[in-house]
Structure 1
Amino acid sequence: MSVKAAKNARELLLKEYRAVLSTHSKKWPGFPFGSVVPYCLDAAGRPLILISRIAQHTHNLLQDGKCSLLIGERSADDIQAAGRLTLLAEARQVEDVDAIADAAERYYRYFPGSQDYHIVHDFDFWVLEPVQWRYIGGFGDIHWLSAESVPLANPFVGEVERGMVGHMNSDHANAVAHYVQLAELPGEATPELAGIDTEGFHLRIGQVLHWLPFPAPCGDPGEVRQALVQLARAEVWPGNEVIQA
């Protein structure tokens, strides 16, 4: 297994937030059924989706949980040269009351509009348990990756992450705006932090999500704070100095 390929695959998984979910058709046995789903990652680093009970893909998953999730680089000029990641997975509905509450709290930060239709309509959270990954980084850069090689557990999920995200959005809006400028991200809406993991953080600008890497992995909240302060004072995103020179 390539450690570099696994890291690149995980970064693609983090950078994107929309994918094609393919399920086994209940109505037309033997045929795959593709649909578009937004996703974020749960505490274990697995894709978390929110889907309607009346949707065709939900009926398919209730009959057969085996599925795949295809993630590609957004706005790629050459789709065949761009990075893409296919996850073969077993879909599992989240049923524990506390687990549902935790999933909802995190998912709503990524997709605030989902709160209304989740409550009003019949939607449920599902987790995709990895079985195998197929990562293509470009021509000739092709890898099969084991189930456990790509996901990375997020130790901050829960109260710690809520506290850090809330603090940055309420008390350090200027720093958050600086991250957007530093990363040269598009969008006119007010940016907000949506989530933090050990390798970086998600910014939400309107309905669009962007994942930005820390200068170095962070193992605890203190290191996260240091990384965010460093970025708030930086003139160039760390690691891009040579590229932009």
Structure 2
Amino acid sequence: MKRPVTKDILSGNLHTISYFDFQSLTKATKNFHQNNLLGRGGFGPVFLGKLEDGKMVAIKKLALDKSQQGESEFLAEVRMITSIQHKNLVRLLGCCSDGAQRLLVYEYMKNRSLDRIVYGKSDVFLNWNTRFQIILGIARGLQYLHEDSNIRIIHRDIKASNILLDDKFQPRIGDFGLARFFPEDQLYLSTTFAGTLGYTAPEYAIRGELSEKADIYSFGVLVLEIINCRKNTDLNLPPEMQYLPEYVCIS
């Protein structure tokens, strides 16, 4: 059973998302069985789900201790996310707010996350044309968030595990749990650090100065990972090779 939520609170345009009841999502994931676990984001685990109509979806179950939101605040955030639409962003299909439970339902990406391939967790090999296609798609998604969407958005956590790939290896930026929205007339925000070490721009990590440059820095590190097929930090390598950006600079 599901009922529609029909108004985008930002622009006033009609935009339909689906509101799922908790029981239907529990059934879709076989009671959130570990065999259906796709991965874990910063705000909770993500499960593969099969809806009653046979559609496959990815269901993020937000960690209760990290999602202290009431229903109105949660739905407001959901509507804000659904107001941004781009082919290189993961599409939010619906949500669930049932008591203390908060869940987000996303389109399912057949080739899952980029880190599985880049870090050798999959037997898939990416040729150079495909790698270039992935890099270009991520860049287009970021350009939309920074310049072309109706609200200015900084993702704050661009990394391989937050890039999902469809059946044609087209990339989609996902996991907007740390995203920040701020006015066009502000060059940067002063805020506490949130994100993933190794992908973090120095001015943000040290001084808390958040701007589009933080995402661009993370994107640069990610490009190096895609080209080199390795993590940005690997302590098992010789000291001079452990931190990828530093190694590239001295090579």
The higher relative CO (CA closer than 8 Å, separation ≥ 6) is in 1
Q: Structure 1-normalised TM-score?
A: 0.27
More strand by share: 1
Q: Structure 2-normalised TM-score?
A: 0.27
